[in-house]
Amino acid sequence: MHTFPPPLALRFLISCTFLFGMRDCVAEVPVFIQQHCADCHDGGESEGGFEFTQLNGPLADEAVFAKWERVFDRTEQHEMPPADAVQPSQAERDVFLDELRKPLAEAHAKEKATVFRRLNRQEYENTVNDLFGTHLDLIDRLPEDGRADEFDNVGAALNLSSIQLDAYLQTAELILDEAIEKHLEKPSIETIRANYADMRGAEKFLGNQWLHRDDGAVVFFQRLGYPSGMLREASPRRAGWYDVSVTGYAFQSDEPVTFSIEATTFARGAEKQHYGFRQFLPGDPQTVTLRAWIPERYMIELTPWGIYDPDYLIKKNGISAYSRPGLAIQHVELRGPIVETFPSRGHQLLFAELPRTEIVPRNPADRKKSWYVPKFEIQEGAETSSSVDQTLIRVATALYRRPVGPTEITAYRKLFDAEHDSGESIESALRTAVSAMLCSTDFLFFSESGPWLDHHAIANRLSYFLNRSCPDAELRAAADSGKLATDPELLKQQTQRLLLHPHASRFINDYCDAWLGLRDLDFTTPDAKLFPEYDVYLKSSMRDETRAFLSHMISNNLPIRNLIRSDFAMLNERLARHYGIEGVDGPEIRPVKLPADSLRGGVLSQASILKITANGTNTSPVLRGVWVNERILGRHPQPPPPGVPGVEPDIRGAQTLRQQLALHRDSDSCRACHNMIDPPGFALECFDPVGGFRDFYRTLGGGGERVDRKVEGRKVVYQQGLPVDASGTTPEGFAFSGFNDFREHVASDEDQIAEVVATKLLTFATGREMGFSDRQPIADIVERSRKSGHGIADLIVYITQSPLFRQK
């Protein structure tokens, strides 16, 4: 039997007595560690940088708690003692874990609580736009939010600085400026019709780069650089919702021609508004339509995809002799602005009891002038004072997302009076008071007192979870009824309703961006020489695939195993071509049945995931392995010990990263974590940095075999490098020969998938990282989910009914 060196043994026993209470309750803890752990972690050259002297101190100390939690987890998962050591019996292991479980759970329960959590940038933007009927892009006007456990809505990571308060003051003014109506009447709907032939400057390109047909259509034969597909005359003077119609056809083609529809501006650095991809069929002209928000002075831009002139035949022989497919556009039509509510919701919120009237101009004829902007005033009257109070209460109730009484608006009424007494108009004074509300903690933060949340706090948590904004009228009514927090059936009904709400797409987008990391899709740009097939259409489709996949699973309540192994994929023509799947036409994403032996199906083989876990040139089993462990398996590898260098790819192509990692794992300080990290990464090595399947690596270093392939009519310049090996062995000893074996192994443990997904969903829903004392309630959710077949929509319902969701 191994024994501690006397000083460490004494310190450790004292530590156990202090941490876990009565000495006779923890007798098995030091005995187990003496027998199975001390030999490698005795304070000398401790393996993995872990030694038991680090366990001294109270569990209230986060660092000490984390170390004990690590001891528990690695013992429970049979990672420790290592396979080459003498193993304890399962009974010994269970006794040891039981001795640790209760004090760890109690210590975490004392410390955990959802902190005073504020709205993050996305929640803030959604809330004000929904309440005031605006369409403002406010995210970039606010400081970036902190993150914890991948999520940017965790309260502990969301601070409030003076810089943020200043930004809130500025955005408050912007919100009110946008919400308060500046016109007397609802704007009339106008129609703008434009075509490329009549566009300013078109004469420079017609007959040269563009073919002008007798039917008025202008034909593009390649993806446009200069001139781009910006149609300058298809530009509204006023921002708003517009019905966009594009009329045209596929020219000289037996196949449909696909194109993107965007809005853009000449302003330097302005981002495009992307409205998606559409296609025209050969034959008679067709019209595609969509409704889109177009900012002021933005122009419609059309860009064809999948047509190209690699041999420069247009330049050599002239455009009239060119016989390859083209995109013919006859005209573009904008109809709008479409205004459903006039005045805006925000205007009505502010002035329902304080109607504004126009200040008649000195010369009434000025109203007909194009430069005329009306001015308004609110008349003083006997009821003005009570109307101001009613207005402030109504606005506060909307902003605070709960009932507000007269005493809560006292400070804002005093602010209004001070402004008005100093000579400001009623409207100006009211704006000042409402701006103060928009900067108040009651608006910026969630009102959650504990231990059990009240009806309105439940409504807020549910709405921001599934719709990413304040509760709608029906959910507010459910909270006002006094039953939402106590009636499980009502809470279930509201959960299911919000999952089908139009705003549920916000939940899908934000959750995928955080949990799966889709927010990093634009972080790298793949090397154009190594991966010439990567383009804007593919990137856009990647993101849409993953979001549509999760949405489809939820709307159909599919079993949770589909996240890992599904018999379908959400594809369009671009993804299907990228994945080598035939029979998929058109740009719309839809479910496609997969062959039984397909590598696709489930998130692990989706191009978006494979791109964000690569650097644009190389793949790294370490990066992908960490991603799979943390996002899918619920394991959190330790960061490398200080002074241990990372493994860099061999840019010469002489060695694979797998070969380099084999040497890296020889180090005692690296072996344990890499045994966990590397296997999932190895399994994904059969996919390149843009999500394509590969048997060999690509290289530009020379010495490889030539590749006989063309992309957009041009021969590729990369060469065939070393072969890919996607085999490995998991920490629990499962040997896999490739990705399919690994995927089947992960998919077989539905309880583990459900546990990880439930944990991530709870973090996102509550704004709090889940910890040790949450494990049993999460296990209860998983047990309930198992009994109903692990449907993912059912899992979300069970989460919202759990104590973890309903408690602070």
Please state the three-class secondary structure of 136-163 as a single string: CCCHHHCCCCCCECCECCCHHHCCCCHH
The H or E element that residue 668 is part of is: helix 668-683
485's tokens: 């927090």
* DSSP secondary structure letters along 22-81: SGGGSTHHHHHHHHHTTTTSSSSS-GGG--GGGG-S-TTSHHHHHHHHHHHHHHHTT-SS
567's tokens: 């018999």
pLDDT attached to residue 27: 45
pLDDT attached to residue 100: 85
The H or E element that residue 729 is part of is: strand 728-729
pLDDT attached to residue 369: 82
Measured distance CA(45)–CA(24) in Å, rounded = 31
37's tokens: 């752990």
Nearest to 427 by CA among 130, 174, 169, 180: 180
Q: What is the mean pLDDT of each run of 10 residues along the chain (808 residues)?
A: 39 48 45 65 56 70 83 80 76 84 88 82 98 96 94 94 95 97 90 95 90 95 79 94 98 96 81 93 97 94 92 91 96 96 96 91 83 88 91 98 96 97 96 98 92 96 98 98 96 98 97 97 94 96 98 98 98 98 96 96 98 92 94 84 56 59 57 81 97 95 88 94 94 93 97 97 96 95 97 98 95
7's tokens: 């000083």
What phi and psi, each to the nearest 5 degrees, are found at residue 753? -60, -45
Give the 3-state DSSP-derived string for 308-368, with helices as H, strands as E and coil as C.
CCCCCHHHHHCHHHCCCCEEEEEEEEEEECCCCCCCCHHHHHHHCCCCCEECCCCCHHHHH
Q: Is the peptide bond before 591 cis (omega within 30 degrees of 0)?
A: no
**pTM value?**
0.90
Measured distance CA(451)–CA(430) in Å, rounded = 37
pLDDT attached to residue 125: 98
Nearest to 319 by CA among 438, 220, 200, 191: 220
8 A C-beta contact, residue 398 and residue 469? no
